[in-house]
Chain A
Amino acid sequence: MSEPNVFTQAQLNWLPWLPPLPEAELTDRHMAGLVDPSRAKSPYFMLLARDPDILGARTRTDKDIFYNPTAGLPRAERELSAAATSRLNGCIYCASVHSRFATQFSKRGADVERLLAEGVGVDLDERWNAVIAASVALTETPIKFTTADIESLRATGMDDLSISDAIHGAAFFNWANRLMLSLGEAA
């Protein structure tokens, strides 16, 4: 199985470059870090379980940013921020997962596909363009995100909790992309 060399919404695998924790070595502390016991089947989470405290905190941060259903940014656009960030950083695996979610929740699979194919300069609509541009500005180093990005997001009708969600979605994928890109590879 060769490493994928295009962005895709298809399901990919991820192979670690370091040995994951053997299942037989799992302690209660490791299980607490995994949060969800089914993640003991994932080489990615079993590798990260080598430091269970940061893994557990990372996972709980992730879940609240993306899955908290109370108010704020619709799930589709939280996923769009993750997909755009992953597209810019170049994480083919992360982009595959979160472009699928963006499609699932928005029903705009063709637009999501254009983001993957054309990149973060794609012209979709005002609101999606603003989410993508904000994700790009936050992902660049040094960070280019300013009050102008806040105003662009607000101009699309977003309240401040939604804007905060967009910031957190892009910021979180700057965490996730770096783990997935540097500890293993898509397959």
Chain B
Amino acid sequence: MSAVDVIDHLVGIAPGSHLDGLRAQRVQARTNAQTSYLSLFQPDDPHSFSLLERFAVAVFVAELHQQPAIAAFYAEGLAAQPGGAVLAPTIEAEAARGVTHGPYGHFPAGPLSVEDTDGLVFTPGITPGPKLAAALAHAHMLVFHPRDAAAEHLRALEAAGWTVDGIVTLSQLVAFLSFQIRVIVGLRALAAAPAVEAN
């Protein structure tokens, strides 16, 4: 359905450009980054994780990264879902409350405990419904303090209505966005610092 490569679009990579040539040398990574996006945001079967929830989590994650253009891209997807336009300001307000600096968190007790760093443990305040609220809380932990993750967090998701398959897809979605956003930011920097031609 979508012919636009999301990373190319959000970096601003034009066909025939230097960055286009670099990405063409890693064609499987390029193609499958896009296939990953499509499998999460245009799935054959969204099962228990609705498109509304998927785009809401994506807007939240992009906003937590303070990446306005990427957040706007996913906000367009959210607005296209029934109920999405109504939900969008809530997600943005939650993200504004959740913005902080990572990674922080705790290691298993022992020699690394000296590196333990406390930080914000986010609790949604106004998100409608326990299922989406639990997803935002989990997404915040994955974005900023993934080493704090524990089995009890998955039990909390289950208690809020998440299936095992849904938790796997939710985890993939937040983790994939953590990748996609970094590729976009990294390639933008590369595009902005072109090598001086040696000739």
Nearest-neighbour CB distance to chain B for A185, whole angstroms, equals 8
Nearest-neighbour CB distance to chain B for A122, whole angstroms, equals 14
In the bound complex, do residue A18 and residue B26 qualify as a contact, i.e. CB atoms below 8 Å apart? no
The verdict on A105 contacting chain B, using a C-beta distance below 8 Å, is no
Give the size of the chain B interface in residues (CB under 8 angstroms).
Answer: 67
Give the total number of A-B pairs whose CB atoms are below 8 A apart: 201
Q: Knowing that A50-B168, A54-B169 touch, tell me 15 more A-B residue pairs with CB under 8 angstroms.
A: A5-B109, A5-B110, A18-B164, A50-B165, A51-B172, A64-B27, A145-B185, A146-B189, A160-B22, A167-B183, A175-B175, A177-B146, A178-B142, A178-B174, A182-B149
Nearest-neighbour CB distance to chain A for B176, whole angstroms, equals 6
A185 neighbours in B (Cβ, 8 Å): 151
The verdict on B103 contacting chain A, using a C-beta distance below 8 Å, is yes
In the bound complex, do residue B39 and residue A141 qualify as a contact, i.e. CB atoms below 8 Å apart? no
A48 neighbours in B (Cβ, 8 Å): 168, 172
Question: What CA separation (Å) do A21 and B143 show in the bound complex?
Answer: 26
B183 neighbours in A (Cβ, 8 Å): 167-168, 171
The verdict on B79 contacting chain A, using a C-beta distance below 8 Å, is no
The verdict on A6 contacting chain B, using a C-beta distance below 8 Å, is yes
The contact of B39 among A54, A139, A154, A176, by CB within 8 Å, is A54
B176 neighbours in A (Cβ, 8 Å): 54, 58, 175
A3 neighbours in B (Cβ, 8 Å): 108
A150 neighbours in B (Cβ, 8 Å): 189-190, 192-193
